[in-house]
Amino acid sequence: MTTAPRRIDVHQHLVPDLYRDALARAGITEAGGRALPDWSPEAALELMDLLRTETAILSVSTPGTGFLSDPAEAAGLARHLNDHCAEVTAAHPGRFGWFATLPMPDVDTSAREAERALGELGADGVTLLANNQGVYLGTEGQDALWRVLDAHRAVVLVHPAELPGPAVDGIPPFAADFLLDTTRAAYLLVRDGVPRRHPNIRFILGHAGGFVPYASHRMAVALAAETGRSPLDTLDDLRGFYYDTALSASPAALPTLLAFARPGHVLFGSDWPFAPTPAGQYFANGLDDGVDPGTLAAINRANAEALFPRLAAHPPAQAPARPLPARLRHSARRAGARLFYRMVQPGTR
């Protein structure tokens, strides 16, 4: 019998009612081209048990607070979201952690909220959208935030947002634009020297870094021409990011990511509930089938424990035993998902 993986999911979202209501008041019913999904702690735990995930670190997805034009209103929403996330985590010890929402692009207010969330509320890190109202991470003038995050040795999940331009008809932003958005932010962070000036910040690039692993050498050549720095130094900076596997543990993307990322820098991610449960199962199966047992154990848990020592310092969270019909249903869903994954791989026909 195989051992359950006890995954730590660093890329899982929440859509609490207070956030859904704020979006609705602004006329927003979707994000990235997808309708806002239903969410509850109970539904999250159901998904986690299906994927054999022990702990999920929750974050608010795009548009964050950037849809609000009033900086004070955005700051208030961020505070409410962070208070709510702290309450959800406290109510389910061992099962949830959380990344704080910051009211970017207001750098000074974001720095203060990061200080509160990390220092007072016990956040596991912060989420930063790759761009906020068209202002990208790595843009000049953000040092006040980087100093606070560096002082806290913060983990930062860099999550894509919609590009600062019109979407192309027929291409939902989540399908391709999101990957470019993360890549742009990574490029600018390295160009601006943020990882070198603030080495205590640990950046996680969502969705395997967008195009970063695939285009890393091309980017390094471009940055060398622009900055005069060695391409090797630039590649070292890019490899220094952490990367999650959300929607990315495929036979095409996963080998590229593992060939590029530094050992210990790849983490499990699901992107639920924006990625529906079948998608989460599909890419979890891709990870399970795509790497050796040692690498799998590291991605599932050990690499995240190194980033979040509190998760390694406590005994495993014991999920309540589900009734037999629920366990049988989970087993059947896992078997069906594994069969589907193997049927659609190249070379199977």
Across the chain, which has 349 residues, the per-10-residue mean pLDDT values are 77 98 97 94 96 97 97 98 98 96 98 98 98 97 98 98 93 95 98 97 98 97 95 97 97 96 98 96 93 96 96 67 70 66 64
Cα first-last separation, the chain: 30
Put simply, whether the predicted model's pTM sits higher than 0.75 gets the answer yes
- Which residue from 14, 124, 24, 23 is spatially nearest to 58, judged by alpha carbons? 14
- In the prediction, which pLDDT does 2 show? 47
Residue 318 in tokens? 């014991």
| Cis upstream peptide for 172 (omega within 30°) | no
169 contacts: CB under 8 Å, gap ≥ 6: none
Contact 15, 155 (CB under 8 A): no
User: Which amino acid does the sequence have at 265?
Assistant: H
Q: Give CA–CA dist 55/312, Å, rounded.
A: 11
- In the prediction, which pLDDT does 237 show? 97
Q: Give CA–CA dist 290/273, Å, rounded.
A: 24
324 contacts: CB under 8 Å, gap ≥ 6: none
